[in-house]
Amino acid sequence: MTQRKKTVKTNKKVIFIVGPTSSGKTDVAIALAREFNGELVSADSRQVYRGLDIGTGKDKSYPHHLIDIKNPGGAMFSLGEFLRRANELLPQIWEKGKVPIVVGGTGLYITALLKGYKLPKKKMGRGRWRKQEKPAFDTLVIALDVPRAVLYQRIDERLRRRMEEGLIAEVEGLIRAGVEAKWLNKLGLEYRYVTNYLAGEYENEEELYNKLRFAIHRYARRQLTWLRHQINGVEWTRGLPCARVKVKQFLH
> What residue segments make up the domains of the chain, in order of their start?
13-147+231-251, 150-219
Enumerate long-range contacts of 120-127, CB under 8 Å, 24 or more apart: none
Enclosing H/E stretch for 211: helix 205-230
Which residue type does 11 have? N
The CATH homologous superfamily to which domain 13-147+231-251 belongs is P-loop containing nucleotide triphosphate hydrolases (3.40.50.300)
> What's the mean pLDDT in 182-210?
98
pLDDT of amino acid 7: 47
Residue 2 — very low, low, confident or very high, per pLDDT cuts 50/70/90? very low
Report which DSSP code applies to 180. Answer: -
Is residue 10 a contact partner of residue 99, using CB atoms and an 8 Å limit? yes
Q: Is the pLDDT of residue 107 over 80?
A: yes
Using alpha carbons only, give the angle 69, 72, 75 rounded to the nearest 5 degrees.
90
Q: Is the pTM of this model over 0.85?
A: yes
Residue 136 — very low, low, confident or very high, per pLDDT cuts 50/70/90? confident
Q: Is the pLDDT of residue 52 over 60?
A: yes
Residue 117 — very low, low, confident or very high, per pLDDT cuts 50/70/90? confident
What's the CATH code, domain 150-219?
1.10.287
> What's the mean pLDDT in 60-67?
96
Report the percentage of the chain scoring pLDDT > 70.
Answer: 91
Strand partners, 140: 15
Burial of residue 7, with CB atoms counted within 10 A of its CB: 0-12 exposed, 13-18 middle, 19 or more buried? exposed
d(CA 224, CA 110): 13
pLDDT of amino acid 145: 95
d(CA 37, CA 10): 10
Tell how far CA 91 is from the center of its chain.
21
pLDDT of amino acid 124: 55
